[in-house]
Structure 1
Amino acid sequence: MSIASVEPSWAISDFLLKSGGYAVVDGGLATELERHGADLNDPLWSAKCLISSPHLIRRVHLDYLEAGASIIISASYQATIQGFEAKGLSRDEAEVLLRRSVEVACEARDMYYETCTKGSWDDPKNEVNLGQRPILVAASVGSYGAYLADGSEYSGDYGKSVTLEILKDFHRRRVQVLADSGADLIAFETIPNKLEAKAYAELLEEEDIKIPAWFSFNSKDGINAPSGDSISQCASIADSCGHVAAVGINCTPPRYIHGLIQSIKKVTNKPIVVYPNSGETYDGIQKKWVKSAGVEDEDFVSYVGEWLEAGASLIGGCCRTTPNTIRALSRTLLSKSALSK
């Protein structure tokens, strides 16, 4: 299913209508790549696999599709032209890799549909056989802080020298390339401040991007973005942009999601997307996740009912969640959807 031809402000709503009212977003990418043997100790993080092992990315996308995900997010979160150039690649080579991130996800979707048609599954115990459900590929755009690889996407502090124009210049070509890559939408993820949200919104308008986008913020306290900007202020920027089709939260502890949804609902009627992390904390200095308050899959999924009740309609997982998390989540959403009919 392509939603590029649908008016951006209605695109996700139309997709949800065709999906039974709710849709499952995939889970963490880096954790799964490492589980499959990838070494991600690199400033490019998961984007390193676009150079060295795209087949592992495809495998993880397939794992999430088989678990029930209806939206898979490309491995371009940390993939920037500037980051690839710092590795010695040319600008043309960097753009090829950006496009490749979406191509790999589209290939996984095609392979999944082919498997459904043949009635064959890698995991014979898989109970989430959703057949020819609509599946979207979202092109991930990580924040400026993700490129810096210093954990500043979790602080929102870029320094006074980083202006709106600098952020727009940094992201512009990347957004253009991903918008023309064959993706169904662009997922602007882990946005830590309203300045970067404004930069994205202006870029979408200036470049007249033809595919819809979602803006997904993060929070450390359940009230504000890491910068201290209120989530309501951030969501208002997304609401005012006609190219933004959904607004939400990612890479935030599950315990904060309900209140954040309520804050977002006060300023927008657009669909709400939430994909929390496991509840663990990222240490930007040591560059690792600290097992502070992580939750098990069962605990993660136990929150879903209140997220739905609060107004979320697209739900998945972020860092440290797995296909098992998404499988449990998919079963829960299927049962909710069935009860609403």
Structure 2
Amino acid sequence: MAVENPFTRFGGRPVILDGGLATDLETHFGKDLSGGLWSAKLLREDQESIKAVHRRYFDAGADVATTSSYQASLEGFASVGISHTDALRLMRLSITLAIDARSEHMANRPLKDTRPLPLIAASVGCYATLLADGSEYTGIYPADVTEETISAFHISRVMALLGSESPTSTTQHHQPDIIAFETIPSLLEARALALACSTHPILSTFPSWVTFTCQPNGRVAHGEKLADCIAALDIAPSIVAVGINCTDPALCEDLVRIAATAAKGRTVIVYANSGEVYDGVRKTWIRKEGVVGGPGWYAECARRWVEAGADAVGGCCRTGPEHVRAVFEGLRG
């Protein structure tokens, strides 16, 4: 059975993604996101702020909301004393909050705005989110972590998000439009996702995207070629979009060209960080000398990414609604 690509609803126009959810929670709402759960901690502590961030991105022009579940996992919630039942509820809540924000936005959208209904992308961070050690930027996992280990981890998280944790689950809740496997750092994890999305009865029929965190010279964080990582996904038709995220914007134009060639008709996505570098030890972002990083500069980067072959563009860490608004105005305004 063919899997529908939800990006096709936009008719070939550049799709505008949202920006950094955690960034806006920290900078605009003053939230402390320290700890292993990152923004997912607010699923229990402050749900209204999460919904408000989604609204801010929709109002800025985003066609896609990425849920607050990037760092959320059953194991991660258990590590801070949250029960299995409550962890499942919180993970599903991340989708409901985004959908509710979309409904509120649509109720207040001007009638002259005829853009399609925005998509809800359920965020599933890489295996590094379980380790909470910044290894999404290196791809260096413990030696005993195998392709099967990573595949099982992702299947468990997606089933929790979709309310299909077990074959007997009858939980009914809102569903996302697409699964977003984000910040994938290695060929090993690409193969694990391909395995999961080609063999699992639900993942093989539910649309998803896979985006990689990259370094210079067309390589992903762990060092393999981006083209090889994308090619590894070919066995999974349900992976309808591929690309780059949380990567230096200065690298993305060349990376998009590589992704567009390797995509074989799939949607090409890019959402970079602000140009700063993450220090996984100190858990802080460091500004690079000579990087502008402002909304106008970022929008010009996005324009070049579209010219290079990107179909969907947005922001990742350290970008906010002002960046998304500038991208929207530059491409669609």
Q: Does 1:236 align with 2:231?
A: yes
Report deviation, 1:65. 0.1
- Counterpart amino acid of 1:25? L
- Corresponding residue for 2:318? 320
- C-alpha distance in structure 2 between counterparts of 1:130 and 1:145, whole Å: 39
Report deviation, 1:179. 3.5
Count of residue correspondences: 317
- C-alpha distance in structure 2 between counterparts of 1:275 and 1:189, whole Å: 10
Alignment deviations for residues 233-272 of structure 1 (CA, whole Å, 9 cap, x no partner): 1111223310101100000011111111111122222110
Q: What pairs up with 1:138-287 in 2 under 5 angstroms?
A: 138-180=121-163, 182-208=175-201, 209=203, 210-268=205-263, 269-287=265-283
Between 240-249 and 196-205, the greater mean CA deviation after superposition? 196-205
Q: Which structure 1 residue ranges, 4+ long, deviate > 4 Å from structure 2?
A: none
- Corresponding residue for 2:70? 77
Asked if the contact 2:71–2:125 (Cα under 8 Å) also holds between the matched residues in 1, the reply is yes
The equivalent position to 1:24 in structure 2, one of 4, 16, 20, is 16
Identical residues among aligned pairs (%): 37
- C-alpha distance in structure 1 between counterparts of 2:147 and 2:284, whole Å: 30
Q: Partner of 2:332: helix, strand, or coil?
A: helix
- C-alpha distance in structure 2 between counterparts of 1:333 and 1:87, whole Å: 43
Q: Partner of 1:157: helix, strand, or coil?
A: coil
Asked if the contact 1:252–1:276 (Cα under 8 Å) also holds between the matched residues in 2, the reply is yes
Cα distance, 1:16–1:116 mapped onto 2, change above 3 Å? closer
Asked if the contact 2:274–2:293 (Cα under 8 Å) also holds between the matched residues in 1, the reply is yes
Q: Partner of 1:289: helix, strand, or coil?
A: strand
- Counterpart amino acid of 1:280? E
Asked if the contact 1:113–1:131 (Cα under 8 Å) also holds between the matched residues in 2, the reply is no
Report deviation, 1:294. 5.3
Cα distance, 1:74–1:222 mapped onto 2, change above 3 Å? farther
What is the TM-score with the length of structure 1 in the denominator? 0.89
- Counterpart amino acid of 1:232? A
Report deviation, 1:171. 2.1
- Corresponding residue for 2:166? none
- Corresponding residue for 2:119? 136
Q: Does 1:106 align with 2:99?
A: yes
- Counterpart amino acid of 1:197? A
Report deviation, 1:277. 0.4
The equivalent position to 1:299 in structure 2, one of 292, 297, 300, is 297
Give the unaligned 5+ runs of structure 2.
Answer: 164-173
- C-alpha distance in structure 1 between counterparts of 2:234 and 2:312, whole Å: 17
Report deviation, 1:107. 0.5
Report deviation, 1:132. 5.1
What is the TM-score with the length of structure 2 in the denominator? 0.91
Cα distance, 1:324–1:72 mapped onto 2, change above 3 Å? same
Q: Partner of 1:56: helix, strand, or coil?
A: helix
- C-alpha distance in structure 1 between counterparts of 2:226 and 2:6, whole Å: 21
- C-alpha distance in structure 2 between counterparts of 1:163 and 1:43, whole Å: 22
Asked if the contact 2:180–2:210 (Cα under 8 Å) also holds between the matched residues in 1, the reply is yes
- C-alpha distance in structure 2 between counterparts of 1:285 and 1:205, whole Å: 35
- CA RMSD across the alignment: 1.7
